[in-house]
Structure 1
Amino acid sequence: MYDVIVVGARVSGSSAAMLLARSGLRVLAVDTARFPSDTVSTHYLHQAGLSRLQDWGLLDTVIASGCPPIRHLNFSYTDIALQGFADPIDGIDAVYCPRRTVLDSILVHAARESGAEIIEGYTVRGLITEDDGRVVGIRGTSAEGGDSEFRARFVIGADGANSTVAKHVGAQKYEESPGGCFVYYSYYSGLDWGMQHRTGFGEQQFASWPTNDDLSLVAVMRKRDRLKDFRRDADGGIQQIISAVDPAYGEEFRDMGTRVERLRPMSYPDNFRRESFGNGWALVGDAAYHKDPFTGWGITDALKYAELLSQRLIEGLGGARPLDEALAAYQAERDAQSAGTFELTKSISELSLTPYYDSVFRAASKSPEYTRKFFGLIAGGYPGEEFFAPENLAELYATVGLPADDRHLVPA
Structure 2
Amino acid sequence: MYDAIVVGARCAGSPVGMLLAKQGYRVLVVDRSTFPSDTISTHYIQQRGLARLASWGLLDKLLATDVPRIKQMTVSYLDIVINGFADPIQGIDFTCAPRRTVLDTILVDGARAAGAEVREGYTVRELIISDGAVVGIRGGFAGGEVTEERARIVIGADGRNSFVAQAVDAEIYQRVPAECFIYYSYFSGLRTDFHSRIGAREQIGIWPTHDDRTLVAVMRKIDAFEDFRTDVEGNFHQIARTIVPEFGEELATKGKREDRFYPMRYPDNYYRQSHGDGWALVGDAGYHKDPLTGLGISDAFEYAELLAGRVHEGLSGQRPMSEALAEYQRVRDEKSHSGFEFTCAISTLELTPQLLAVFRALGSNAEYAKDFYAMIGGGMTGEEFFAPERMAKLLGAQV
Q: TM-score, normalised by structure 1?
A: 0.96
Matched with 1:188 is 187
* Unpaired runs of at least 5, structure 1: 402-412
The count of corresponding residues between Structure 1 and Structure 2 is 399
Matched with 2:260 is 262
| CA distances 1:62-102 after superposition (whole Å, capped 9, x unpaired) | 11111010000011011111001000012110001000000
Counterpart code for 2:101: T
Counterpart code for 1:355: P
Pick aligned residue for 2:211 from 206, 213, 229: 213
1:175 equivalenced with 2:170 (yes/no): no
Answer yes or no: is the 8 Å Cα contact 2:3–2:153 preserved in 1: yes
Matched with 1:301 is 299
Matched with 1:389 is 387
Pick aligned residue for 2:279 from 278, 281, 298: 281
* Separation in structure 2 between the aligned mates of residue 128 and residue 83 of structure 1, nearest angstrom: 52
Aligned ranges 1:75-154 → 2 under 5 Å: 75-130=75-130, 132-154=131-153
* Separation in structure 2 between the aligned mates of residue 323 and residue 209 of structure 1, nearest angstrom: 42
Aligned ranges 1:11-410 → 2 under 5 Å: 11-130=11-130, 132-201=131-200, 203-401=201-399
How far is the alpha carbon of 1:386 from its aligned partner? 2.0
Answer yes or no: is the 8 Å Cα contact 2:4–2:153 preserved in 1: yes
* Separation in structure 2 between the aligned mates of residue 112 and residue 392 of structure 1, nearest angstrom: 46
| CA distances 1:363-404 after superposition (whole Å, capped 9, x unpaired) | 122212111111111111012212111122112111121xxx
* Separation in structure 1 between the aligned mates of residue 369 and residue 361 of structure 2, nearest angstrom: 9
Counterpart code for 1:176: R
* Separation in structure 1 between the aligned mates of residue 388 and residue 58 of structure 2, nearest angstrom: 39
* Separation in structure 2 between the aligned mates of residue 368 and residue 208 of structure 1, nearest angstrom: 22
Matched with 1:405 is none
Counterpart code for 1:157: G
Answer yes or no: is the 8 Å Cα contact 2:67–2:96 preserved in 1: yes
* Separation in structure 1 between the aligned mates of residue 257 and residue 232 of structure 2, nearest angstrom: 12
Answer yes or no: is the 8 Å Cα contact 1:367–1:400 preserved in 2: no
| CA distances 1:247-284 after superposition (whole Å, capped 9, x unpaired) | 21111110011111111100001000000000000000
Give the share of equivalent positions with the same residue, in percent. 56
* Unpaired runs of at least 5, structure 2: none
* Separation in structure 2 between the aligned mates of residue 93 and residue 85 of structure 1, nearest angstrom: 9
Name the SS of the counterpart of 2:218 in structure 1.
Answer: strand
Answer yes or no: is the 8 Å Cα contact 1:43–1:97 preserved in 2: yes
Counterpart code for 2:172: K
Name the SS of the counterpart of 2:12 in structure 1.
Answer: helix
| CA distances 1:197-236 after superposition (whole Å, capped 9, x unpaired) | 11112x1111111001110100000011111111111111
1:9 equivalenced with 2:9 (yes/no): yes
Counterpart code for 1:159: D
Name the SS of the counterpart of 2:18 in structure 1.
Answer: helix
Counterpart code for 1:225: D
Name the SS of the counterpart of 1:343 in structure 2.
Answer: helix
Counterpart code for 1:334: R
| CA distances 1:161-184 after superposition (whole Å, capped 9, x unpaired) | 111000010100011011100000
* Separation in structure 1 between the aligned mates of residue 381 and residue 335 of structure 2, nearest angstrom: 10
Answer yes or no: is the 8 Å Cα contact 2:84–2:366 preserved in 1: no
How far is the alpha carbon of 1:138 from its aligned partner? 0.6
* Separation in structure 2 between the aligned mates of residue 215 and residue 88 of structure 1, nearest angstrom: 26
Name the SS of the counterpart of 2:263 in structure 1.
Answer: strand
Name the SS of the counterpart of 1:115 in structure 2.
Answer: coil
* Separation in structure 1 between the aligned mates of residue 94 and residue 276 of structure 2, nearest angstrom: 38
Considering only aligned residues, what root-mean-square deviation do their CA atoms show, in Å?
0.8
How far is the alpha carbon of 1:146 from its aligned partner? 2.4
Counterpart code for 2:76: S
Answer yes or no: is the 8 Å Cα contact 2:188–2:213 preserved in 1: yes
Name the SS of the counterpart of 2:136 in structure 1.
Answer: strand
* Separation in structure 2 between the aligned mates of residue 345 and residue 226 of structure 1, nearest angstrom: 21
How far is the alpha carbon of 1:145 from its aligned partner? 3.4
Q: TM-score, normalised by structure 2?
A: 0.99
How far is the alpha carbon of 1:12 from its aligned partner? 0.2
* Separation in structure 1 between the aligned mates of residue 83 and residue 241 of structure 2, nearest angstrom: 20
* Separation in structure 2 between the aligned mates of residue 152 and residue 241 of structure 1, nearest angstrom: 50
* Separation in structure 1 between the aligned mates of residue 256 and residue 125 of structure 2, nearest angstrom: 41
Name the SS of the counterpart of 2:333 in structure 1.
Answer: helix
Runs of 4 or more consecutive aligned structure 1 residues displaced over 2 Å after TM superposition: none
Structure 1, 363-372 or 219-228: larger mean CA deviation: 363-372
Q: 1:233 to 1:168 in 2, by over 3 A?
A: same
Structure 1, 93-102 or 117-126: larger mean CA deviation: 117-126
Name the SS of the counterpart of 2:140 in structure 1.
Answer: strand
